[in-house]
Amino acid sequence: CSPEGLHSEAVVLRCEWAACSYAAAAMEEFCGHVAQHLRHHLPGERRDEVDPLEEYTCLWQECGFCSPESPADLVRHVYFHCYHTKLKQWGLRALRAQPDVSRCQLDFQSRNIIPEIQENFLCLWEYCERSFDNPEWFYRHVEDHSFCSEYKAAGKENHVVLCGWKDCDCSFKGRCKLREHLRSHTQEKVVACPTCGGMFANNTKFFDHIRRQTALDQQRFQCSHCSKRFATERLLRDHMRNHVNHYKCPLCDMTCPLPSSLRNHIRFRHSEERPFKCDYCDYSCKNLIDLRKHLDTHSKEPAYRCEFEACSFTARSLCSIKLHYRKVHEGDSEPRYKCHVCDKCFTRGNNLTVHLRKKHQFKWPSGHPRFRYKEHEDGYMRLQLVRYESVELTEQLLKDREKRGEALDGSPDCVVLSEGEGNLRGIVLEAPAEPSPAENRAGERQAAPQHAAACSAAGPERRINSSVPGQPASGVCFGPVPARRSAL
């Protein structure tokens, strides 16, 4: 049950505090050593004493973290370095055990950049609520809860073990499964990349992180929907699931592939709440990214500089620099957006959107606030004419619109592909062995009709069915109906 079978193996934990070269074989010894660095580094007799004029800087190599708030922030941060060091050692061992997996090609100098830890790690197991500043002790503490979890009878012979985390009623057939489940509550990672420092929930995701860096000419598996390429068939399958919408907004006809996408849609389209507020003026917004963009306007120094040579323009906001590019340098860029109806080209997607709506009378699909564009083999971005929805969701949409007396997206020519036809497909770019003449004749007799969700039949490409098990995808095609066109 240990993460990826690595708990039992010895590791070499090297301290990277300033010029220290200390090494330990156990986390208890390693954390105790790092605690000595903290005692010498932090001012005052107590770690939680606060000097309003003091800044607390991390001396871990290639880190650069600085906390103006409290020494407790630095303590928590440095202990995470200890935990991160262990995960990187597990990543190194995982790579040694898989000689067919190459090394990460990303920047080695980012290996010690760790996430910002804003508060202590709090255990939310029932009646516990213990707090930890060291993630290693926190995760071990939560694991101890899994050993003490009560069994509950389920029938005459079967028993299940219960998750005691706050607001969770999950149950499992064994404690090993419970421990894996608890990581979804604690966000515990079990391995990190020794090169770039990225952390992962399992070895499979770690190896995928490396395989995605494969040279383009070796990425043989291509998505038929967006043309992205992947090194393995499984990566392609995982990717194509993101094209299938399974969740519908309760307030409109918007459909999304993920619950998080649906939450973001509701927040931005149907909620007036603006929880992110500027400390310098009355501005408020719905997300942190917009707030950071706004804060640039309060900076004394310009945050943005024009990237074109011989241009010295600077701006305090992203909006201003984009406006500058549009007014001054738009002619310097090659037009990448092409109308699929009349082949007129544009440098920006917004201009193509205006063209499609005014010139060709296209309309946005119900519930969707914009058009989406897909890069084709010739390098041009063209309108995405198909969206994929699970069969269950398509049936729900049809029933909802029948009750309202509407056709799907208002288009009588809209086609809902059948369950057998509608699965997303991928292609293998390298041609397989030439089939025999008999196989060719049999294939010609059994060839299925082309449809929007399938790849082009030209060439000997092997197709990969990638629908989610139990949830086949249904492609929704929007046909060329004058004044009623819809697209996505």
| Between residues 467 and 400, the one the model is more confident about | 400
Residue ranges in 149-232 assigned as alpha helix (H) = 175-186, 203-211
Task: Rank 77-86, 97-106, 333-342, 384-393 by mean pLDDT and report only the highest.
Answer: 77-86
**pLDDT confidence of 295, banded at 50, 70, 90?**
confident
Q: Please count the other Cβ atoms lying within 10 Å of the Cβ belonging to residue 437.
A: 8
Tens digit of pLDDT for each residue in 427-465? 455 433 444 544 444 444 443 333 333 333 333 334 444
* 220 phi/psi in degrees, rounded to 5: -85, -10
Residue 35 has pLDDT above 90, yes or no: yes
Output DSSP code: residue 455: P
Structure confidence at residue 348 as a pLDDT band (50, 70, 90): confident
pLDDT band, residue 152 (cuts 50/70/90): low
| Phi, psi for residue 141 in degrees, rounded to 5 | -60, -45
Residue 47 DSSP SS3? coil
Q: What is the dihedral of CA 327, 331, 336, 340, to 10 degrees?
A: 90
Q: Which of 270, 231, 262, 265 has the alpha carbon at shortest distance from 246? A: 262
- Residue 301, pLDDT > 90, answer no
pTM given for the model: 0.50
Task: Retrieve residue 134's tokens.
Answer: 């060291």
Between helix 175-186 and helix 135-148 the angle, nearest 10°, is: 140
Higher pLDDT, 50 or 126: 126
Alpha carbon of 101 to those of 155, 190, 196, 235, 451: distances in Å?
46, 18, 16, 15, 37
Instruction: Tell me the range of 40-49, 179-188, 239-248, 363-372 where mean pLDDT is highest.
Output: 179-188
Segments in 133-232 forming alpha helices (H): 135-148, 175-186, 203-211
pLDDT at 484 over 50: no
Superfamily of domain 247-327: Classic Zinc Finger (3.30.160.60)
Above pLDDT 90, what percent of the chain?
21
Classify each residue of 77-115 as buried b or exposed e, where b means 16 or more C-beta atoms within 10 Å of its C-beta.
Answer: bbbbbbbbbbbbbbbbbbbeeeeeeeebebeeeebbebe
Q: State how far the Cα of 135 lies from the Cα of 81, in Å rounded to an integer.
A: 10
Cβ(246)–Cβ(472) under 8 Å?
no
Amino acid at 71: P
Q: Please say whether the beta carbons of 49 and 17 come within 8 A.
A: no
Backbone angles phi, psi at 437, to 5 degrees: -55, -35
> Whole-angstrom Cα distance, residue 294 to residue 304?
13
pLDDT (0 to 100) of residue 85: 97
Say what the pLDDT of residue 369 is.
64
| Burial label, 371 (beta-carbon count in 10 A; 0-12, 13-18, 19+) | buried
Q: Which of 44-58, 87-101, 251-265, 361-375 has the lowest mean pLDDT?
A: 44-58
337 touches 373 (CB < 8 A): yes
- Which residue type sits at 29? E
Structure confidence at residue 133 (pLDDT): 94
